[in-house]
Amino acid sequence: MKFTTLLLTCLRGLVRNPMRAALTVLGIVIGIAAVVAIMEIGEGSKQQIADKFSNLGADVVNIFGASVSTGGVNSGMGGRASLYPSDAEAIMEECPGTVVSASPFVRASGQVIVGNTNWSPNSIKGGNEHYLDIEGWEIEKGSAFTKKQVDEAARVCLIGKTIAEKLYPGQDPIGQDIRIKDVAFTVIGVLAAKGADGMGNDQDDCLILPWTSIRMRLMGASGSATISKGGAANNTNKASSTSTYSTSGVNFYPGCELEPYASAPHPLRTRTVDSILVKIRSKESATPAMDDMTPVLRRQHKLEPGVLDDFEMRDRSQFIKMVTGTSETMSRLLIAVAMISLVVGGVGIMNIMMVSVTERTREIGLRMAVGARPRDIMQQFLLEAVLLCLAGGFIGIIAGRIASELVSKHNGWPVATSPMAMVLAVSVAAVIGIIFGWYPAFKASRLDPIDALHHE
């Protein structure tokens, strides 16, 4: 029998009882609609999260000092003050294949004052001239600080949108004075708004300064790292060996004439940085980039083979993956539940196909008598079941799309059409048709033509 003829025969068989066919596929329709709707809503929230995190920089690797244990207390990540600004330069020079740029990163906190208003920003961050690019900041007004300004520890700063609104309402902040922890700075630029980060923190409530300015002018304002000994101790001489970040020209700590302080070294904190941010060529190249950077840092830190790294690297895409993973797990769970309803729908199909085979026993007998082979009968009933399921699948896709659109309109949830969901839905429907249509079709093909012909 030709396939087109078979198809027509099956369609005719189905439209003979349209109401029953419609009720039969209802289970499949509901199941497929649920799968499609859940996948679309899941996809939507995943994309939303991805969007939120993309401005956090997925192509950034953070390098921290390793943790250190003192007296049984572990400092956690970044506890060891082992990173130097020269490390950032070395990485940029020696890993051009995987690394775009690198910047030292330091953090401060404190009050800022403009005129008679004050404000405690969420964060005061410091980096070099590449920092804005690495973190994906754009300048809305004014200009970024230059390498020269970084070298000079210039008293300039960039302010976030929120700060601009709070401290300079209705004014142009460019060129205005701002006092950060009682040190006068000049605002040279306003950053374009970034909005909340993935955790809901306002990213625009921040100031960005040359890292040198924070280290040299806002001392004592450092971040979390408090332990300045450990693996870094044997590198004490390193930072001063580079001219760029040399502090030799600036006497921030005017020597004390008193004997005990005469030979005191600079506190380590002025020369180490909290972390180093590295922008890599692409999101996917995080691992090769880290493999590139590790030997550079080990050499910079003069670590003997066998000595553990005194730094740790983490790429941010891991963090993003972790957050999106949660919503993915949730939607997978829901899809599993929807799949159960598909199985129930499949059982409904099987049930009706069994009824149909019994009801059409004489037709089967006749077809066999006039020359249909068992496999012809099998094909006919199997195709009928598959057609039912496919029809249910297509209706289900439409219903699912409508449902997800309604949900997005009504609840304001993000949805995204997922072609994957549709392909999956249709193939699942076809597979269910084959699985649950097989047994009734097999039974039909095994009928004895004589008995079938005389079936009442």
Partner 1 sequence: MLRIAVIELRNITKVYHLGEIDLPVLKGISLSIEDGEFVSLTGASGSGKSTLMNIMGCLDHPSGGEYLLDGKDVAGLDADDRARLRNARIGFVFQNFNLLPRTSALENVMMPAYYHHPVDAAAKIRERALELIRLVGLEDRMNHTPAQLSGGQQQRVAIARSLINSPGILLADEPTGNLDSTTSVEVMNMFRELNRQKGISVIIVTHDPKTAAFTDRAINMSDGLIMEGVSDELSATLEK
Q: Which residues bind partner 1 (CB under 8 A)?
A: 1-2, 5, 9, 12, 16, 362-363, 365-376, 449-450, 453
- Name which of 5 and 116 has its Cβ closer to partner 1: 5
* Smallest distance, partner 1 to C-beta of residue 402, A: 33
b/e for 38-56, b at 16 or more Cβ within 10 A? Answer: bbbbbbbbbebbeebbebb
CB neighbours of residue 193 within 10 Å: 15
- Name which of 10 and 60 has its Cβ closer to partner 1: 10
- Name which of 6 and 113 has its Cβ closer to partner 1: 6
* Smallest distance, partner 1 to C-beta of residue 430, A: 24
Q: For residue 190, what is the DSSP state?
A: E
* Smallest distance, partner 1 to C-beta of residue 372, A: 5
- Name which of 187 and 368 has its Cβ closer to partner 1: 368
- Name which of 340 and 369 has its Cβ closer to partner 1: 369
The radius of gyration of the chain's CA atoms, rounded to the nearest angstrom, is 34
- Name which of 18 and 419 has its Cβ closer to partner 1: 18
Residue among 41, 81, 36 nearest 401 (CA): 36
* Smallest distance, partner 1 to C-beta of residue 438, A: 19
- Name which of 130 and 367 has its Cβ closer to partner 1: 367
Contact 452, 358 (CB under 8 A): no
Q: Phi first, then psi: what are they for 227, rounded to 5°?
A: -100, 115
- Name which of 291 and 451 has its Cβ closer to partner 1: 451
| DSSP 3-state percent helix, strand, coil across the chain (nearest 5) | 55, 15, 30
* Beta-bridge partners for 208: 125, 158
Q: How is 79-120 classified by DSSP, letter by letter?
A: -B----HHHHHHHHHH-TTTEEEEEEEEEE---EEETTEEE-
Q: At 162, which amino acid appears? A: T
Tokens of 320: 């993003």
Tokens of 347: 């059982």
Tokens of 137: 């900041």
* Smallest distance, partner 1 to C-beta of residue 448, A: 8
Q: Give Cβ neighbours of residue 210 (< 8 Å, ≥ 6 apart).
A: 126, 127, 128, 145, 149, 150, 153, 154, 156
* Smallest distance, partner 1 to C-beta of residue 386, A: 19
* Smallest distance, partner 1 to C-beta of residue 53, A: 59
CB neighbours of residue 81 within 10 Å: 28
Pairing of strands 206-210, 123-127: parallel
Tokens 């690394």 belong to residue: 99
* Smallest distance, partner 1 to C-beta of residue 357, A: 15
- Name which of 11 and 50 has its Cβ closer to partner 1: 11
Contact 428, 341 (CB under 8 A): no
Our CA angle for 86, 92, 95, nearest 5°, is 125
- Name which of 306 and 371 has its Cβ closer to partner 1: 371
Q: How is 128-173 classified by DSSP, letter by letter?
A: -TTHHHHHT--EEEE-PPPHHHHHTT-SEEEE-HHHHHHHSTTS--
* Smallest distance, partner 1 to C-beta of residue 375, A: 8
* Smallest distance, partner 1 to C-beta of residue 374, A: 6
| Distance in angstroms (rounded) separating the CA atoms of residues 73 and 331 | 40
- Name which of 9 and 48 has its Cβ closer to partner 1: 9
* Smallest distance, partner 1 to C-beta of residue 371, A: 2
